[in-house]
Chains A and B, each alone.
Chain A
Amino acid sequence: MTAHTITIDGQQVPFIEGQTIIEAATAAGVYIPHLCHNPEFTPHGSCKLCTVKVNGRNCSACTFPAVDGQEVLNDTEELNETRRAITQMLFVEGNHFCPSCEKSGNCQLQAVGYFLNMLDAHFPFFYPSREVDASHPEVMLDRDRCILCELCVRASRDVDGKNVFALSGRGIHTHLIVNSTSGKLADTEISVDDKAVHVCPVGAILVKRTGFEVPIGQRIYDHQDISEVSLAMEESVAGESHGG
């Protein structure tokens, strides 16, 4: 195996043939903000939070392959401003009432907002009317908070082998559907142990009767930056899949 490197903000970062920019960055302890990316699943590239500049061009770090000699810009004022605006777009597109949300403090959208120093929603709210599905005895689906990252779609398809979730519709009307005639979660094959139930970066998919077990104020991102948490978690995942 020959040694390959790219630079990220001037820092030399090694990579293995076939890795994406974000994989190389994570392995080297460099955090690139992301939401739809999760190292356990196939790269997706839809949220665009991981936008970096590669040789002067914007690319999604989670899908773009690392190529020898690439000069990547990541932690710049301009890119972070762009990412902040994208995060704000995700906030206004849905209905995110953080103070009353069970995911508050454990939510990656919120945490990314903190990390990017997002102080308001900036854009006018869309206040969409979205369906809440409480039909299942153990799993709750609140589409108000869905950011359409398709992690549940990928997890159910690729890990659980069930295809419980899918995105439907088009454009601003894109929405999450479940795989049943009634359109209700209770009539799908989902079970509370499914991977799909536990990958949602926001509070759209929740396990019932576990609410507020950890008090607000003592949750993951109440005390730690998402950059640290995510690197710690994802380096171990990446370590497993690449054999160290």
Chain B
Amino acid sequence: MYNREHLLEAAGTPMPLTETEQSVLMRIVDRHAADATQLVQILREVQASFRHIPADAMDSLAAALGIERAQVQAVAEFYTFFSTKPRGRYDILISDSITDHMLGSREIAAYLSERLGIQPGETRSDGQVSFDYTSCTGMCEQGPAGLVNGLTLTQLTRERIDRIVDLVNAGTPVTQWPREFFAVKDNIRRADLILKTELKPGSALKWSNTRGADSTLAEIEKSGLRGRGGAGFSTGMKWKFCRQAKSGPADAPAERYVVCNADEGEPGTFKDRVLLQSYADQVFEGMTLCGRVIGARQGYLYLRGEYLYLGDHLDRVLQERRRNHLLGSNILGEPGFDFDIEVRIGAGAYICGEESALIESLEGKRGVPRNRPPYPVTHGYRNKPTVVNNVETFAAAALIGLKGGAWFADVGTEKSKGTKILSISGDCAKPGIYEYPFGTSIRKILDDCGATNTLGLQIGGPSGIFISDREFDRVLGFEDLPTGGSFMIFDRTRDILEIVRNFTHFFAHESCGFCTPCRVGTSLLRNQLDKLCAGHGAKGDLVELTHISKLVKNTSHCGLGQTAANPILSTLERYPELYEQRLRAKAFEPGFDLDGALEVARRMAGRDDAHAHLEQEAVL
């Protein structure tokens, strides 16, 4: 007969929270006004306080927030920075981006692992420390980088690892660690329109108050500004659509939102980080301007979890702006111009950069992209008309609000007006931030940053394309080479397949899992490429690789899946010989590792002799 008590016992009933723990939990909930849309923020704090999301806390949170327990669990299990098992008091993550690899991150991580005596993904038995890899942390030009308890570590060396291990073992609070471990530099190497033009806080808003919202929108349209986050949609048009969209019943007050996409998850991109660090006022001014144009009263800046260290700084800038009447009610004395901005922080999910997934995350859910249409301009945050723009787009919009559309449209090319800020990393003498007018050639950029012996570069991040040394006369711009800003340079000492493998692993790790082709296909691609790189690939495997790549590209639900095979497809096209060199002279070799599958049996039998191994037959 079935016996519930017995089953529950077998499942391991979780430890109930103590009274103190319960009150810590409720204080967190109170800080967020028991608002279920802030679930990601709440879980961030629970993770920080409890080092995991205890099963019991899920029940309490669900009850306190008036949502289902399953939603709390589903969110807790979606984001990389949450865990349901306790992590160490010091939670160390090493950035696993290709540019970090090139700066020696794998060796550094191996050394850390050895010094701590734990493998990636493990927590030391004393509960003091855990260590793992994580996707690009956006410190590409000052790596190897990592995070400790969510805070950015840069320029890791063996010597620094030694000191970190000592601090961990001594139990020194992270707040007392040497400041230089956390130093993040701007490294601005070339400034143009956006980075050079001074904007006094409030000046664009003042101008806008004088000439009115219609005329401000007209200037944005005239500028020809297109989104800087990747897709390149006309910003003026987006604002106009949102402004025109019905926000609900005619008698209800209009409800619209402005969202700044500061998720910056594309590996190799770090220009938004610099804008937020040193041009935050300009970004907020752009958001406020947008609020005025579309008639929104609330804005959100969705900051990627990896940039936690920027949170306090951004809050301070917001506070300063409120003091100066640049936020709040009747901004700069204009009656009815009410707008405020809140920073919301993510928790480790590249997909939350996709605008509709970002909105889901803002609403306290898993970051799964929505079906489109409808688009966020009509059905965004809380299903209300919402403008989502990239950080750089808002920074540009603020200046256009001040200087006018013509000022901006004067620069660039026919279809790509203005400038683009690039994050340059990889093999060059002067990596960092470079702002160029659209239409600039790759050759000029490579010259400027001191790249020599260049094999090729990845433009637009893993979701962009790989271009070879035969294509350096191509130019920046939506007509030729669009980019969200990632520009990773590789010289001739680098192994292209290793680069592709890193990117392919990235996508498999970051796929949200909603749609079949991407959920399954990105893992198939990863396994297929691993097989090839391990020297087990046969001719059939190349055909298969192309086949899966096209399938994932053509049938996936969102941009992640649609671009996940780009690294493979763009290098297969340019360097087919590199792939062929890795093949065995066979038509077929099974993907199934027969000998590997016997590993468990060998361990159980305590055997490792020759007879306990099987050589796999290949089909010639």
Contact = CB atoms under 8 A, between A and B. Distances in A.
Contacts of A116: none
A48 B556 CA distance: 8
Contacts of A95: none
Given A47-B515, A86-B551, A184-B8, 18 more contacts: A44-B371, A45-B557, A46-B514, A48-B516, A48-B517, A85-B551, A86-B516, A86-B555, A93-B520, A124-B527, A126-B523, A169-B513, A170-B512, A172-B511, A174-B514, A177-B74, A177-B77, A181-B56
A65 interface: yes
A205 to B, nearest CB: 16
The range of chain A's interface size is 35 or more
A89 B552 CA distance: 11
Given A82-B551, A135-B4, A168 B519 contact: no
Given A46-B515, A165-B70, A171 B509 contact: yes
A95 B368 CA distance: 25
Interface of B: 2, 4, 7-8, 11, 13-14, 55-56, 58-59, 68-71, 73-74, 77-79, 349, 366, 371, 373, 508-517, 519-524, 527, 547-548, 551, 554-557, 590-592
A200 B56 CA distance: 30
Interface string A42-83: 011111110100000010100101000000000000000010
10 contacts: A85-B551, A86-B516, A124-B590, A166-B71, A172-B508, A174-B513, A179-B69, A180-B69, A184-B8, A184-B11
B517 A171 contact: no
Given A171-B523, A174-B519, A124 B592 contact: yes
Interface of A: 43-49, 51, 58, 60, 63, 65, 82, 85-86, 89-90, 92-93, 123-126, 135, 137, 147-148, 163, 165-174, 177-184, 186-187
B555 A82 contact: yes
Contact of B70 (A89, A124, A178): A178
A166 B557 contact: no
Nearest to A134: B2
A92 B513 contact: no
A139 to B, nearest CB: 12
A192 B71 CA distance: 23
B36 to A, nearest CB: 14
A90 B71 contact: no
B542 to A, nearest CB: 16
A178 B516 CA distance: 21
B519 A169 contact: no
Contacts of A44: 371
A63 B551 contact: no
Nearest to A35: B516
B508 A171 contact: yes
B33 to A, nearest CB: 23
A44 B516 CA distance: 13
A94 B185 CA distance: 47
B513 A89 contact: no
A166 B11 CA distance: 20
B7 A184 contact: yes
Nearest 5 pairs of A and B residues by beta carbon: A174-B513, A124-B591, A166-B70, A179-B70, A89-B520
